Amino acid sequence: MKNMKKKVLLADMSLLVMTIVCYGSFHEEKTESALLMENIEALAGGESHVPMHCVGSGTVDCPINHEKVKIVATGYSLEDLY
């Protein structure tokens, strides 16, 4: 009888420890996922505006007005450095 109580107590303690570990790892994973999403959004946003011009009539989608154009010209400007 005494041996059975020890086994039940050991099983209960093991279950409690596993529950605490699983809860802690689940909570930590959500925090990392939120931080990861914030970093992805920050990187996707960019730091400055890149000049863009759409020229002609063709088959390329212009990101400015979503019309079909021949050339989408993008470039960098040194004016931002001054």
Convert the pLDDT of each residue in 30-46 to its tens digit: 656 778 888 887 787 66
42 shares its domain with 76: no
- Mean pLDDT, range 58-62, rounded to an integer: 90
Q: What are the tokens at 4?
A: 């059975």
41 shares its domain with 6: yes
Give residue 37's domain range.
1-47
- Number of structural domains in the chain: 2
43 shares its domain with 58: no
pLDDT at 32: 65
- Mean pLDDT, range 44-73, rounded to an integer: 83
pLDDT top residue among 19 and 40: 19
H or E element: which one contains 54? strand 52-61
Would you say 65 and 54 are in contact if contact means Cβ atoms under 8 Å apart?
A: yes
1 shares its domain with 41: yes
Letter for the amino acid at 49?
Answer: H
Q: Is the pLDDT of residue 81 over 80?
A: no
